[in-house]
């Protein structure tokens, strides 16, 4: 599995560059996930504001609601939830697509034609993951904070100055970097695990479904595990 | 009748000349056909000399086929009496492969002669497709050696192997078309990805390849909209379009009606006569395939049972081979 990652990394650095494939994958992973990301992020932000308000009001510090929402969004929930959603939406499809190509001998056909399949199939997905995840995460963060605003200001009556002023004062560049680096790592994890599982799928339809399931499970677990270590390193 | 020129020296006009020598056509007719072939107007489909002769009305399709068969039989006879002197392009030495605990290849020794059509026949499940995959390095043998052009396949670096493979093309038994691409893009794929040919030259080649397999006008369809036989023919077009040095075909005629089967054999023969491309064909079209190849290899129980000129194998007295050729139920091969 690590060999596969190394091969993909190596192949990403060698021409020819397949721009069309890359753009197709960015479209597939990014554009087509926008709606899901928007939907999850707005509700994540709303529930965060609700819970935060409830907790903070016990200590009389409702004014900290903005920073609480924004920081948990930017540092944790944004990258992790986007990662999990993309795994479910694009990662599973990636594993299934490559798995079908494998069992129908299409990957063998590429190899026989002298087109390196890793270069042709894995690299565009890998690069697209690296590019798209930080972007989707930023969108997730922004919409999530707006969701928090809806609940905090419109519903619970916090002043919008308190909400946004608190965010502006509390969020540092470092927090944003942390979130984006996490997103980048999750992009690598998702495309790596899902391509790998699909690429080495075995034995018919059952093999493909097995590959898809285990790709989603492994990728989700790896996201949470690596999230812990990334947090520990970058805190 | 004069023996055919050495197969080692292909010439594009060979086929027409040989039609002439065989008395199928006259000199003025050949001149007409060659002029039509080289005229810039005929760059499109149906540019094969045989088809041009048919189009000009000098030969009827059955006559053309009869001529081709006759020329081919003559070549086979020549092949039987004059074993090729050049070293084989592909060779397997004592190759063994175990799959799922079953010995599928059990010490295969074979040689694929250059500039010839070789047929591999044998019972279903006998390891023919597995053998073909070994020849091109898709599967690694447990033991034994495979050489391409005298070079040991296992010791080639990835880069060299890739270069070698671009001289080959393989038609998979299942077709292996890319289902995200339409028919046109599937056939154009190897040209776009492995050659520097510009797009405006790819187009006529792809259209010609499609019309040669009787699929003109199907270029916008997707693989899941095709019948089994149609996708097979698209895959065949994809294998032929790059004009490789060696073509490996895994059952090019399986699942086709007898008319199309015949036209595919005709196409293969015609392609061979024009280009002298080395071809390996796995086929169940026994006995028809014996008319369409020089060399036959019979696989039986993971071993090469017989390997030799088609005419010699045809006359073999080995009971296994006799049973296989005639499709009898009684005999050394247990069916039930
Ligand atoms: N990838 C594989 N894994 C395990 N066993 C395999 C694999 N491929 C083929 N086999 C086994 O190897 C044997 C030979 O298969 P192969 O496909 O070469 O047969 P074949 O001679 O091409 O038959 P057919 O004429 O029906 O195509 C079969 O018994 C098959 O079960
Ligand atoms: Mg087979």
What per-residue confidence (pLDDT) applies to A191? 92
Query: Percentage of chain B with pLDDT > 70?
Result: 91
Return the minimum-mean-pLDDT range out of A95-99, B40-44, B87-91, B193-197: B40-44
pTM, rounded to two decimals: 0.83
Residue A217 lies in a domain: yes
pLDDT at B14: 64
- Is B166 near chain A, with CB under 8 Å? yes
pLDDT band at A88 (very low <50, low <70, confident <90, very high): very high
- Structural domain of B221: 177-243
Domain-ending residue, one of B81, B111, B126? B81
Q: Which domain holds residue A132?
A: 20-234
A116 Cβ under 8 Å from any chain B Cβ: yes
Chain A contacts of B190, Cβ < 8 Å? 113, 115
Show the DSSP H helices in chain A as ranges. Answer: 2-12, 19-29, 34-58, 65-71, 78-86, 92-103, 106-112, 117, 123-149, 160-170, 173-199, 204-234
pLDDT at B41: 56
> CA of A213 to nearest chain B CA: how many angstroms apart?
22
Query: Is the domain of B35 the same as that of B145?
Result: no
Quick check: is A11 in a domain?
no
Last residue of a domain, one of B34, B50, B81: B81
A235 C-alpha to center of ligand 2: Å? 58
Residue B10 placed within a domain: no
ipTM of this model?
0.80
B129 in reach of chain A (CB within 8 A): no
pLDDT tens digit sequence for A126-185: 999 999 999 999 999 999 999 989 888 888 888 888 888 888 888 888 889 999 999 999
B238 to chain A: closest CA residue: A113
Segment A43-64 shows an average pLDDT of 87
Q: List residues near ligand 1 (CB under 6 A).
A: B 99-100, 104, 122, 124-130, 173
Same domain, B115 and B261: yes
Express the helix, strand and coil content of chain B in percent, nearest 5 each.
45, 20, 35
Q: Which of B186, B221, B243 is the last residue of a domain?
A: B243
With CA atoms as reference, report the closest residue to B72 among B288, B317, B319, B305.
B288
Tokens of A178: 């942390």
Specify the ligand 1 atom closest to the Cα of B126.
21
Residue B48 lies in a domain: yes
Q: Do B165 and A109 touch (CB under 8 A)?
A: no
- The answer to whether residue B8 is domain-embedded is no
How many separate domains does chain B show? Answer: 3
pLDDT at B173 over 90: no
Q: At B9, is the pLDDT very low, low, confident or very high (cuts 50, 70, 90)?
A: very low
Q: How many domains does chain A have?
A: 1
The string of pLDDT tens digits covering residues B299-308 is 888 888 888 8
Residue B40 pLDDT: 58
pLDDT band at B336 (very low <50, low <70, confident <90, very high): low
The CATH number of the domain where B273 resides is what? Answer: 3.40.50.300
Residue partners of B29: CB distance under 8 A and separation at least 6:
B53, B56, B58
């Amino acid at each position: 599995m690590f060999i596969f990652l190394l091969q993909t990394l190596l192949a990403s650095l060698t021409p020819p560059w397949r721009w069309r494939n890359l753009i197709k994958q960015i479209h597939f992973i990014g554009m087509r996930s926008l709606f899901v990301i928007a939907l999850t992020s707005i509700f994540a932000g709303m529930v965060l504001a609700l819970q935060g308000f409830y907790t903070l009001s016990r200590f009389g510090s409702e004014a900290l609601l903005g920073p609480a929402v924004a920081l948990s969004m930017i540092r944790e929930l944004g990258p992790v939830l986007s990662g999990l959603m993309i795994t479910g939406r694009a990662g599973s499809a990636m594993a299934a697509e490559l798995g079908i190509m494998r069992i129908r001998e299409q990957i063998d056909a590429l190899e026989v034609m002298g087109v390196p399949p890793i270069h042709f199939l894995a690299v565009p997905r890998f690069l697209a993951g690296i590019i798209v995840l930080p972007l989707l995460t930023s969108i997730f963060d922004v919409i999530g904070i707006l969701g928090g605003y809806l609940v905090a200001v419109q519903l619970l009556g916090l002043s919008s100055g308190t909400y946004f002023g608190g965010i502006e004062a509390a969020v540092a560049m470092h927090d944003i970097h942390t979130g984006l680096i996490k997103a980048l790592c999750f992009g690598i994890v998702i495309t790596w695990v899902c391509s790998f599982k699909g690429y080495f799928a075995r034995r018919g339809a059952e093999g493909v479904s097995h590959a898809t399931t285990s790709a989603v499970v492994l990728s989700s677990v790896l996201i949470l595990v690596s999230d812990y270590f990334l947090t520990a390193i970058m805190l | 009748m004069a023996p055919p020129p050495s197969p080692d020296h292909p010439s594009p006009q060979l086929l027409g000349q040989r039609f002439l020598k065989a008395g199928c056509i006259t000199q003025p007719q050949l001149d007409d056909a060659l002029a039509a072939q080289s005229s810039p107007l005929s760059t499109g489909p149906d540019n094969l000399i045989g088809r041009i002769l048919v189009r000009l009305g000098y030969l009827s399709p059955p006559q053309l086929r009869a001529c081709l068969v006759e020329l081919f039989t003559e070549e086979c006879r020549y092949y039987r009496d004059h074993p090729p002197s050049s070293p084989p392009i592909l060779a397997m030495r004592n190759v063994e492969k175990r799959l799922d605990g079953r010995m599928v290849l059990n010490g295969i020794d074979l040689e694929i002669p250059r500039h010839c059509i070789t047929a591999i026949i044998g019972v279903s499940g006998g390891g023919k497709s597995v053998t073909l995959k070994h020849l091109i390095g898709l599967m690694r043998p447990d033991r034994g050696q495979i050489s391409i052009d005298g070079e040991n396949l296992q010791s080639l670096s990835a880069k060299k192997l890739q270069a070698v493979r671009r001289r080959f093309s393989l038609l998979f038994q299942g077709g292996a078309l890319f289902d995200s691409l339409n028919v046109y893009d599937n056939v154009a794929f190897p040209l776009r990805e492995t050659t520097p040919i510009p797009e405006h030259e790819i187009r006529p080649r792809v259209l010609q390849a499609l019309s040669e397999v009787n699929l003109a006008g199907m270029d916008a369809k997707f693989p899941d909209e095709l019948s089994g036989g149609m996708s097979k023919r698209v895959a065949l077009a994809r294998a032929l379009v790059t004009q490789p040095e060696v073509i490996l075909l895994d059952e090019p005629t399986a699942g086709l009606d007898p008319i199309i089967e015949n036209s595919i054999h005709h196409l293969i023969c015609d392609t061979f006569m024009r280009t002298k491309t080395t071809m390996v064909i796995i086929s169940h079209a026994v006995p028809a395939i014996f008319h369409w190849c020089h060399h036959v290899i019979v696989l039986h129980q993971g071993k090469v049972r017989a390997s030799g000129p088609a005419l010699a194998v045809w006359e073999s007295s080995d009971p296994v081979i006799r049973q296989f050729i005639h499709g009898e139920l009684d005999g050394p091969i247990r069916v039930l």
